[in-house]
Structure 1
Amino acid sequence: MSRFQRRGCLADSRAGFRTETEQEPAVPQGLIKGARKSGQLNLSGRGLSQVPQSVWRINVDVPEESHQNLSFGAADDRWWEQTDLTKLILASNKLQCLSEDIKLLPALIVLDVHDNKLSSLPKSLGELENLQRLNASNNMLKVIPDEMCKLKLLKSLLLQHNQLEQIPEGIGELLGLDELDLSNNSLLSIPSSLSGLTSLVRFNLSNNKLKSLPAEISRMKSLKQLDCTSNLLETIPPELASMASLEQLYLRHNKLCFLPELPSCKLLKELHVGNNRIETLGPEHLKHLSSLITLELRDNKLKSLPEEIGLLQGLERLDLTNNDISSLPCALGNLPNLKSLLLEGNPLRGIRRDIFNKGTQELLKYLRSRVKTADTTDNNDGTALTAMTLPSESTINLHALTTLKALEYSEKQATSIPNEIFNAVENISITTVNFSKNQLTEVPQRIVELKETVCDLNLGFNKLSSVSLHLCMLQRLTHLDLRNNALTSLPSEMEALPKLQIIILSFNRFKTFPDVLYRISTLDTILASSNQIGFVDPLQLKSMLKLTTLDLQNNDLLQVPPELGNCENLRSLNLDGNPFRNPRAAILAKGTAAVLEYLRSRIPT
């Protein structure tokens, strides 16, 4: 017997004998019966215009089977041992309202009513004291009942794509909330009381009508991700600079004239401020952002970049598209991790178009060549020490070796790396190695000599058919580029790479997703497009808590497992060019968040 019956909630003595009216949408009794056992009921996509009364009273009314001649020896038929409903999914129906009778389900932990036609939520929702996740996105909500602010255990509140113009002050009392999505509404302001959400990790305010942010937002001491894209912001409160936990800040498509200074945001990895009116980027904006990986400044009015851009040693992506920049600082060439530099739409002078057309690495190489060569010193034998000419007629730039800590031997069409290249390293702590665009059929054995220092290894555009164990000994490796080779597998020993964050496997011959990648917990980016991968394991991907980018474009995926939608850490999931039918192209075009939400809605219960 459920605890609601024990409490004497059978107010109607005939409740066990009632039948649904013909007007109520039919719900298969098998689903109701199964829900009594599992505590979960999924009624998504059934065309319901109202929720049958039997759903609200599932734990109140005595089941119909209790009046039948049942074999009490069968455990499956013990209706009196029913489980209270904890998860109710009513997504993708035609519901215009929810009954106040929802209070008859006080054990609910998850309530999903997204993609309906709800114009309001019942006040009795506030009586669901156990509720932890509420998804009411993609409806027609104009107000949120104050009673909802009583849900003290609520952790996730999704209200995106509604018609909200304001939210209750009391939401700031939901102290356990770690995710709040208010995007795509009509909010003109947010109450300062939200400063009470000190457990909030993800806060999405994009696509509203906000002209300002309250200074009190800085008290959200746990906030890692703040998205204010597509609003009307003209300034950012200076208090935002004290948010020490912030890792991702999105301010695109606003009316900002100045880039905010963020001296305390030392963990910030992504800063997106494109499509604003920013004219100046100064040293004060950059000197504290030592952890920055992505800096997006496209479609602004920048005229120059400071030499201090060279302080962003971890920067991997810099987007300066459509600005007024006429020249580039040579310090850009000294950024060891920069993989993508976007400069289209700038009136740049002094750099030939053919250099631009060769891509980021060639442009950086050109900028490095313009750096003033270090003062020439003398060897013990009195000869000038400038550059070393090898028998292979290659030249090692000692400035690159000593200053950039970079060892390059690329575009030589070589089948092996000459010993002289490694000999030139001597006692220099090399961090970057580029052996791309050669004819290598195996990983050079002497790479192991750099195992204590090398962080970035590029072996792309070669003829590698396997990865040797020598590579697996590079203990500091964080970035590995193996694109455009002939690889079909990766050795399990790669699991021993303790710092690997980014791996590029595009344009190889993988038919299965390399199992070893699931076991490298530090990975945050996997690029595996243009292979022949036919399956990925969503459960193992979900366990990769740091994975934010997964590119599986142009593979052989016949289906996308719905459970992939549970990988909520993914910020970028690319699936175009695969032969699956669902999700449809229209859903893929909406972006990663929409794809993950769609996949979650298809998870069977």
Structure 2
Amino acid sequence: MSRLQRVPGRDPRAGFRAEGRDCTTSVPQGLLKAARKSGQLNLSGRNLSEVPQCVWRINVDIPEEANQNLSFSSTERWWEQTDLTKLIISNNKLQSLTDDLRLLPALTVLDIHDNQLTALPSAIKDLENLQKLNVSHNKLKMLPEEIALSKNLKGLYLQHNELTCIPGFEQLSNLEDLDLSSNCLSIVPASFSSLLSLIRLNLSSNQLKSLPAEISRMKKLKHLDCNSNLLETIPPELAGMESLELLYLRRNKLRFLPEFPSCRLLKELHVGENQIEMLGAEHLKHLNSILVLDLRDNKLKSVPDEITLLQSLERLDLSNNDISSLPCSLGNLHLKFLALEGNPLRTIRREIINKGTQEVLKYLRSKIKDDGPSQSGSVAETAMTLPKWSPESIHAIVALKILDYSDKQATLIPDEVFDAIKNNIITSVNFSKNQLCEIPKRIVELKEMVSDVNLSFNKLSSISLELCMLQKLTFLDLRNNFLNSLPEEMKLLIRLQTINLSFNRFKMLPEVLYCISTLETVRLVHQVGSVDAQKMRMMENLTTLDPNNDLLQIPPELGNCVNLRTLLLDGNPFRVPRAAILKGTAAILEYLRDRIPT
């Protein structure tokens, strides 16, 4: 029984004790017997409030069956059976572990996730063979210094605890997988640089404002997740991590896309939901191996032609930016997925976008040919009608079915504009960035064809009845005007799917919106002070609600709007729910549902 000699401070009489009776109800004897043979014991989900002594002493005490039958077959010689190497006691009600943990020195796997632990015993240092430790989903506020002595540890899982700081891990030279997500960390120790074997590091959902430059010394790191933090910049040293393959920086405060001259193996870059305003050639030229590029929910205004440098790119997400046009060269990429929704695109009809990625790419490729030196007779004829318009505008009318009279600072739309399009089919209208105080009455002439209307950045204080007559309207952009109400007649827009009312003068969500059952996306940034959750349930198709406003409280009944896939609440002054709860739409809705009065 040489294994017994390895137990520090072991009672020399322990081998002659019978197993205590504390296990008879909580741990079946059959499980213990099987564990002595296999070296593995699974006590998950048994409602345990403490670990029975017989578990700690499974390799120390004489088993009960030895007292009942002294004649053992060759397979039942208890003194020759296996030391416990794997112990799973997850999904119980454990509030603490005792130092008896040291009685299991052969453990290589200890899984105690989903309990109520507030601390770990210092005896953790005696588990010299431990390779995997899972203490996730507990209530740990700090870690014992002794955890750094587990030199053979390869996987350490501490996500979903209450850690505000962590000890130096200098001696964990074999650690390959470290998960510290969903804690309260504000600083990453520079000593992390000593984790030279680390392959995966998850720091998401903390309160990090910066990353240490020393992180670049992790030469084997392939997967770095820093989603949902407060990062404003990324240390330039990060660009020197040659092994990095997956980088997640979603939901931070980045204003610039980092450059990655040395990250030539980088396959996925996720920087959605930041404040990035520019995408340049310098940001793209080194991403030779990139397969996935996520830039959604930023402030991009354009996509550079150099996007074609990303010849390996398969998935590109540009949704919810401020992009008005795309380079035709984008059509030469071999994309499997391209997301463009939520952009004020003026050069691609929405019906093409709705047909999916391949149709968009096909269209962009065709436009490369159309933009050549030769022009069709119909375009030339239109050019004669509207000599003051640029060739691009003429092309948009004839080929793209877009009426673009934007950014002219005009106080009204000239009649000749509407006269010129009488013989053409128009599906999109863009009158943005003018000085319009009212909607042109002649827009009603397009009621049977137009599906997109952009009237943003004008001086509109009311919506005309003519606009409400557009039978096929699906997308309406009214951002940055002086609106404080919407007419009841807007309920006639029975196909409206997306409406952007941001930066107006609304005090509450306009009543008529509750009556438009086809609405899928409502954006109301910086204005409303309340929403009616009960009425919102009538909006059965609503999937995106962005009230980044002056909401002082969120009605719990909003949690019943289960169709919502995107609920953006950042930027509101309410105190409940806490910012820590705002970690995704599903979590917010569940939080709200739990608070509905019964």
TM-score, L = length of structure 2: 0.60
Q: Which of the residues 247, 260, 263 maps onto 2:261?
A: 263
Q: Return the alpha-carbon distance in structure 1 between the equivalents of residues 13 and 223 of structure 2.
A: 52
The corresponding residue for 1:355 is: 352
State the shift of 1:91 in Å: 0.8
- Contact conserved, 1:156 with 1:178, CA < 8 A, in 2? yes
Residue of structure 1 in register with 2:177 after alignment:
179
Name the residue aligned to 2:56: 56
CA distance in 1, matches of 2:228, 2:52: 40
Distance 1:310 1:166, change over 3 A: same
For the 8 Å contact 2:19–2:61, the answer to whether it is kept is no
Shift of 1:24: 8.8
Task: Using the TM superposition, give the Cα deviation of residue 21 of structure 1 relative to its aligned residue in structure 2, in angstroms.
Answer: 5.5
Q: 1:367 aligns with which of 364, 369, 390?
A: 364
Report if aligned partners of 1:17, 1:64 keep a CA contact under 8 Å in 2: no
Is residue 2:192 matched to residue 1:188? no
Any conservation in 1 of the 2:276–2:299 contact (CA below 8 Å)? yes
- Quick one: distance in 2 between partners of 1:175 and 1:6? 24
| CA drift at 1:12 | 5.0
The alpha carbon displacement at 1:372 in A equals 4.5
Aligned AA for 1:121?
L
Could you tell me which amino acid in structure 2 is paired with residue 348 of structure 1? L
Shift in Å, 1:62: 2.0
Letter of the 1:245 counterpart: S
User: What is the aligned partner in structure 1 of residue 540 from structure 2?
Assistant: none
Task: List aligned pairs for 1:422-501, cutoff 5 A.
Answer: none
* Cα separation, partners in 2 of 1:233 and 1:30, compared to 1, 3 Å: same
Note if contact 1:16-1:64 (Cα within 8 Å) is conserved in structure 2. no
Name the SS of the counterpart of 1:140 in structure 2.
coil
**Which of 313, 316, 319 is the equivalent residue of 1:315?**
313
In the alignment, what sits opposite 2:152?
A: 153
State the alpha-carbon separation in 1 of the partners of residues 237 and 25 from structure 2: 53
Q: Aligned-pair distance for 1:36?
A: 1.4
What is the CA deviation profile of residues 451-505 of structure 1, one whole-angstrom value per residue up to 9, with x for unaligned ones? xxxxxxxxxxxxxxxxxxxxxxxxxxxxxxxxxxxxxxxxxxxxxxxxxxxxxxx
CA RMSD of aligned residues (A): 2.2
* Residue of 303, 306, 313 corresponding to 1:305: 303
Per-residue CA deviation, residues 273-294 of structure 1 (Å, 9 max, x unaligned), is 0000000000000000011111
Give runs of aligned pairs for residues 494-513 of structure 1, distance below 5 A.
Answer: none
Distance 1:80 1:270, change over 3 A: same
Q: Which amino acid aligns with 2:199?
A: V
Q: Quick one: structure 1 residues 24 and 192, their matched pair in 2 at CA, closer, same or farther if it must change by over 3 Å? A: farther
Query: 1:63: Cα distance to partner?
Result: 2.0
Give the match's secondary structure for 1:48: coil
1:90-114 C-alpha deviation (Å, 9 max, x unpaired): 1111100111010111111010001
Superposed displacement of residue 353, structure 1 = 1.8
**What are the within-5 Å matches in structure 2 for residues 40-55 of structure 1?**
40-55=40-55
Residues 324 and 76 of structure 1, relative CA distance in 2, 3 Å threshold: same
Tell me, yes or no, if the aligned pair for 2:7 and 2:102 is still in contact at 8 Å. no
Deviation (angstroms), 1:29: 1.2
What displacement does 1:305 show?
0.7
1:173 CA displacement: 2.1
Aligned counterpart for 2:281 among listed residues 274, 280, 283: 283
Equivalence for 2:98: 99
SS for the counterpart of 1:318 is: strand
My pick for the range that moved more, 365-374 or 82-91, is: 365-374
The DSSP-based 3-state class of the residue aligned with 1:59 is coil
Q: Would the aligned equivalents of 1:199 and 1:222 in 2 still touch at CA under 8 Å? A: yes
Amino acid at match of 1:28: P
- Determine if the alignment matches structure 1 residue 346 to structure 2 residue 336: no
Aligned residue number for residue 430 of structure 2: none
Q: Give the corresponding residue for 1:30.
A: 30
Provide the C-alpha distance between the structure 1 equivalents of 2:328 and 2:6, rounded to a whole number of angstroms: 76
Quick check: 1:162 aligned with 2:195? Answer: no
Write out aligned runs for 1:452-601 (5 A): none
CA–CA distance in 2 between the matches of 1:150 and 1:279?
A: 46
Q: Is the 8 A contact 2:176 2:199 kept in 1?
A: yes
Kept after mapping to 2: 8 A contact 1:42/1:90: yes
1:499-546 C-alpha deviation (Å, 9 max, x unpaired): xxxxxxxxxxxxxxxxxxxxxxxxxxxxxxxxxxxxxxxxxxxxxxxx
Report the CA distance shift for 1:327/1:186 in structure 2 as closer, same or farther (over 3 A): same
What is the rounded CA distance, in whole Å, between the counterparts of 1:310 and 1:162 in structure 2?
43
Aligned in 2, Cα 1:163/1:25: closer, same or farther, shift over 3 Å?
farther
Q: Is 2:125 aligned against 1:126?
A: yes
CA distance in 2, matches of 1:14, 1:7: 11
Deviation at 1:267, TM superposition (A): 0.6
Q: Tell me, yes or no, if the aligned pair for 1:106 and 1:128 is still in contact at 8 Å.
A: yes
Q: Is the 8 A contact 2:263 2:286 kept in 1?
A: yes
Q: Matches of 2:304 and 2:221 in 1, distance apart?
A: 30
Note the C-alpha offset of 1:7: 7.7
Q: Distance in 1 between matches of 2:323 and 2:371?
A: 28
Alignment partners' CA distance in 1, 2:358 and 2:153: 48
C-alpha contact 1:2 1:59 (8 A) present in aligned 2? no
**Deviation of the 1:363 alpha carbon:** 0.9
Alpha-carbon distance in 1 for matches of 2:340, 2:215: 34
Structure 1 residue runs without a partner (length 5+): 377-588, 592-605
Determine which structure has more spread, i.e. the larger CA radius of gyration.
2
Aligned to 1:313, what secondary structure does the other structure show? coil
Match of 1:163, SS state, is coil
Decide whether the 8 Å contact of 1:267 with 1:291 is kept in 2.
Answer: yes
From 233, 236, 239, give the equivalent of 2:234: 236
User: 1:529 maps to what in 2?
Assistant: none
Are the equivalent residues in 2 in contact too, given 1:210–1:233 (CA < 8 A)? yes
Deviation of 1:32 after TM superposition, in Å, equals 1.2
Q: In structure 2, what is the equivalent of residue 519 of structure 1?
A: none
Offset of 1:67 from its aligned partner? 2.4
Q: In the alignment, is the contact (CA less than 8 A) between 1:248 and 1:268 conserved in 2?
A: yes
Cα separation, partners in 2 of 1:6 and 1:362, compared to 1, 3 Å: closer
Distance in 1, matches of 2:69 and 2:352, equals: 84
For the Cα contact (< 8 Å) 2:18–2:62, is it kept in 1? no
Distance in 2 (CA, whole Å) between partners of 1:174 and 1:210 is 23
Shift of 1:58: 1.2
Tell me, what secondary structure is at the counterpart of 1:260? coil
Distance (Å, rounded) in 2 between the aligned partners of 1:219 and 1:590? 37
SS for the counterpart of 2:178 is: strand
Identity across the alignment (%):
65
Provide closer, same or farther for how the CA distance between residues 22 and 43 of structure 1 changes in structure 2, counting only shifts above 3 A: closer
Which consecutive residues of structure 2, in runs of 5 or more, have no partner in the other structure?
374-584, 588-598
For residue 77 of structure 2, what is the aligned residue in structure 1?
78
| Partners of 2:186 and 2:208 within 8 A in 1 | yes
Equivalences for residues 377-388 of structure 1 within 5 A: none
Distance 1:350 1:375 in 2: 16
In the TM superposition, what is the alpha-carbon distance from 1:177 to its structure 2 partner? Answer: 0.5
Does structure 2 conserve the Cα–Cα contact (< 8 Å) formed by 1:70 and 1:77? no
Q: Does the residue aligned with 2:83 lie in a helix, a strand or coil?
A: coil
Give 1:198 deviation, angstroms.
1.1
User: 1:357 Cα shift?
Assistant: 1.7
Give distance in 2, aligned partners of 1:31 and 1:235. Answer: 53
Q: Are the structure 2 counterparts of residues 323 and 205 from structure 1 closer, same or farther at C-alpha, using a change threshold of 3 Å?
A: same
Q: Distance in 2 between matches of 1:254 and 1:375?
A: 42
**Post-superposition shift, 1:369?**
1.2
Once residues 6 and 273 of structure 2 are traced to their aligned partners in structure 1, the CA distance between those partners, rounded to angstroms, is 60
| TM-score, length basis structure 1 | 0.60
Distance 1:51 1:227 in 2: 34
In structure 2, C-alpha distance between the alignment counterparts of 1:210 and 1:6, rounded to whole Å: 42
CA-CA distance at 1:68 after TM superposition = 2.5
Query: Does the 8 Å CA contact 1:2/1:84 hold for their aligned counterparts?
Result: no
Determine the C-alpha separation between the residues in 1 that align with 2:129 and 2:118: 24
- Distance (Å, rounded) in 2 between the aligned partners of 1:22 and 1:282: 67
Q: Distance in 1 between matches of 2:96 and 2:235?
A: 39
